[in-house]
Structure 1
Amino acid sequence: MNLHKLTKIAAIVIAVLGILFLGLLMAASEDGAENKWITPLIYLSYIVLAVCIGIVLIYVLKNLFSDKDNLKKTLISVALFAAVMLVSYLLANGGEVKANGEVYSSSTTKLVGAGLNAFYILTVVAIGTMVWSGFTKIKK
């Protein structure tokens, strides 16, 4: 049995279980009996999520380590992203902030600022890449 058939059968089984649990949940009375059907649905979703993440990681790592050029490009991309995150963190301001009756520490505000800075930098890079790509297509 090949992987495609096995995946198809697993997807059908999971779909049938999900529909069964959903039907049982919808048919439950309002007196609190629905809680016994929510738990299996949550566990089913956890299992499906874990299986999907595991399969994706296996194939990504297998394909990544099988091609040296692909591995080099990936490592360069990861290093550039880490550099953007480092620059964002260094540019972020940190200080205590009081909002909604709570006091947020300087490290928390610095991390929030770093996240915003990274978002701005990556947005500018993405827009610049789209403009450059469009410009080179028009130029040809």
Structure 2
Amino acid sequence: MNKLIKIALIAIGLIAAALWFFMPSADDPDAINSGAMNFMFIIMYILLAIAVVATVFFGLQKLLATPGSLKKALFGIGGLAIVVAISYGLSSGEEAKEVAESMSNLGATEGTVKNIGMGLNVFFILTVIAVALMVLPGLKKMFVK
């Protein structure tokens, strides 16, 4: 099985390398309709689909095979849901209405502004948590010795 995967990957790599040479020049106005470009997109979608299916399959297999991992996963999903709820609460308010009104000519609605604010807040909160989880163990090791 491992040899078949390696052979398939080598074949895909050779096809992609050959298509690279058939790509149109950057100043060609009809470059997006090139057959080589379309085939490279098809290869990309196939590889992306294989990666997603393999990730989900093996992730679920490991999740269900290891005792206690399902409980940990549910805690993680619950924690993420709490962070998203807090972020959505922080993104609501007068600021969202003002931004939506000022950008209404671009098609922005209050809901869109709230969702963007929520996404930014989720990113910032998770970044702070990740930095804290990296720094705190190091600080603990420095001072506990």
Higher strand share: 1
The one of 113, 124, 135 equivalent to 2:139 is 135
The 3 A distance-change label for structure 1 pair 31 and 69 is: closer
Do the aligned partners of 1:97 and 1:103 also contact (CA within 8 Å) in 2? no
TM-score normalised to the size of structure 2?
0.82
What is the aligned partner in structure 2 of residue 41 from structure 1? Answer: 40
Q: What count of residue pairs does the alignment treat as equivalent?
A: 136
Gaps of at least 5 residues in structure 2 are none
Please state whether the residue corresponding to 2:87 is helix, strand or coil.
helix
Matches within 5 A, 1:101-140: 101-138=105-142, 139-140=144-145
What is the aligned partner in structure 2 of residue 70 from structure 1? Answer: 69
What is the aligned partner in structure 1 of residue 18 from structure 2? Answer: 20
When structure 1 is superposed on structure 2, of 122-131 and 59-68 the one drifting more is 122-131
Once the two structures are aligned, what percentage of the paired residues are identical? 29
How far the C-alpha of 1:101 sits from its partner, in A, is 4.3
TM-score normalised to the size of structure 1?
0.84
The 3 A distance-change label for structure 1 pair 26 and 32 is: closer
Please state whether the residue corresponding to 1:107 is helix, strand or coil.
helix
Gaps of at least 5 residues in structure 1 are none
Task: Give runs of ≥4 in structure 1 deviating > 6 Å.
Answer: none
Please state whether the residue corresponding to 1:68 is helix, strand or coil.
coil
**C-alpha separation in 1, matches of 2:74 and 2:42:** 35
